[in-house]
Structure 1
Amino acid sequence: MTSPAATATPAARTPAGQAREKILATAFRLFYAQGLRAAGIDTIIAESGVAKATFYKYFPAKDDLILAYLERVDGVWTGQLHAAAEAAGEDPAAQLVGLFDALTTACRRDGYRGCAFINAAAESASGTRVHDRTVAHKQQIRAWIRDLAVRAGAQDPDQLARGLTLLLDGGLASGVLDGDPDAAAAAGAAAAQLVAASLRTPPTPN
């Protein structure tokens, strides 16, 4: 079998406008499959088929490439969450439950290895640019869910948003740790119960 590196486009034949994309696409595949530290720069250069000088022109340090990778993952995953929520209809409460359909789809995908941001956080030290980017992603997701909770009329939007993001992250982790894609369905069912409970009007004291 011919290795991916052997079939990569030679650097001299790679148009300058495509070089960065080739590097990033290769890094996206290797970082997710192998981990941020296990996927080395030399391997990424070889499999992307670009010259070393070209690589460092676009990504002077490995962390620059990791941040670009996380930015792309953010766009993909956030887009999937929003699409799943919107597919549930216009009711914000239904969207809070519907967004978990993206989790079900993710956990059933071939090569699924959990949340790229949780994985990245586990490999990066607190206070670094990479770790800060993972925290920012999680904060952005929780802020979006909180906004839906507010529009749904939740009694405590902050608590509901935190609870749902914990279920979301737990489902992402369980999907790979248990090797059971049904973990996502369980997370979605728990989310539905949590949303329903948060919207109930508390009894009026006598």
Structure 2
Amino acid sequence: MPDVRERIVTAAYPMFVNRGIRDVTLDEIRRQAEVTAAQFSAEFASRDDVAAVCLQRREAIWTIGVVEAGARARGTTPEECLLAIFDVFDDWFHRDDYEACTFVNVLLEMGRDHPLGRASCEHLEHIRQLVGRLAAEAELDRVEEFTLSCHILMKGSIINAAEGDIEAASRSKAMARDLVARHQPVHASGSSHAEHVEWLQLHGLDADAFTFSGAEPERPVQSAPSAAVRGPVHADADVAYYLDFDLA
């Protein structure tokens, strides 16, 4: 038979996941775990202490055991694994027992300043770290920016699914694919005109306004009839783009 502490956590875990924190009472936990008040007090100081351990268990079961393991099992490349997160979500959203994200639920219920709210923020940060690791493995540009944006898509799809939109993951996956494309690195050396045009379009620039300049080979330049000043409008480690400004 499991020890007293394990019985308490096992009993409390589904209650907190499905109902939140404040709706769960100590009497319910003790009754379900079949422990006395004295036995409970010997292991935990309060209901919130049990909840904190259950949040840790949720990370092990859901973040690592379901999301990370599922995404890595479905993808053969880091990019595929990133997008596969939304395939994992799609299966989750279609389950009859879909319970939404416990960390988001607890954060909204308890508030960011409550110890359980702060713990939920830490667990959400661990999810972002997972996304960041995959983005780094995929050698995407601006990994931190990508990670924050991708996590917005993930959390947004979870909320939409809680509203009843069980196809939210597939829509979010399409947006995530565009996000991955926008963060692909671009290398100037050997790049074709078509590759430059694609890069400009991905970054929201009007590709028709750019041409190649003989003065700056393989670097797109926007020409103006009476241009007076030329300056870089984008630069990174590998490529720089120049724009002619008409100051007349």
TM-score (norm 2): 0.71
Change in CA separation of 1:111 and 1:89 when aligned onto 2, cut-off 3 Å: closer
Q: Which residue of 2 aligns with 1:195?
A: 180
Corresponding residue pairs, total: 190
Q: Which residue of 2 aligns with 1:4?
A: none
Whole-angstrom CA distance in 2 between matches of 1:110 and 1:189: 24
Q: Which residue of 1 aligns with 2:20?
A: 35
Task: Name the stretch that deviates more: 32-41 or 146-155.
Answer: 146-155
**Is the 8 Å Cα contact of residues 112 and 121 (structure 2) preserved in structure 1?**
no
2:95 corresponds to which of 104, 109, 114? 109
Q: CA deviation at 1:105?
A: 2.2
Aligned amino acid, residue 108 of structure 1: H
Aligned amino acid, residue 3 of structure 2: Q
Whole-angstrom CA distance in 1 between matches of 2:101 and 2:70: 17
Q: Which residue of 2 aligns with 1:205?
A: 220
- C-alpha offsets along residues 160-197 of structure 1, whole Å, 9 cap, x if unaligned? 111111111111111112x1321122222221221123
Aligned amino acid, residue 152 of structure 1: A
Aligned amino acid, residue 205 of structure 1: P
Q: CA deviation at 1:133?
A: 0.9
The unaligned stretches of length 5 or more in structure 1 are: 1-14
Q: CA deviation at 1:100?
A: 1.7
Aligned amino acid, residue 40 of structure 2: F
Q: Which has the higher contact order (CA 8 A, sep 6+)?
A: 1
Q: Which residue of 1 aligns with 2:155?
A: 169
**Is the 8 Å Cα contact of residues 24 and 65 (structure 1) preserved in structure 2?**
yes
CA RMSD of aligned residues (A): 1.7
Q: CA deviation at 1:147?
A: 2.2
State the identity %.
27
The unaligned stretches of length 5 or more in structure 2 are: 187-198, 201-218, 222-248
- C-alpha offsets along residues 118-171 of structure 1, whole Å, 9 cap, x if unaligned? 010012133332111111111111122122212212222111111111111111
Which protein has the bigger helix share? Answer: 1
Highest CA radius of gyration, 1 or 2? Answer: 2
Which protein has the bigger strand share? Answer: 2
- C-alpha offsets along residues 55-109 of structure 1, whole Å, 9 cap, x if unaligned? 1211111111010110011111112111122123341111111122221122122
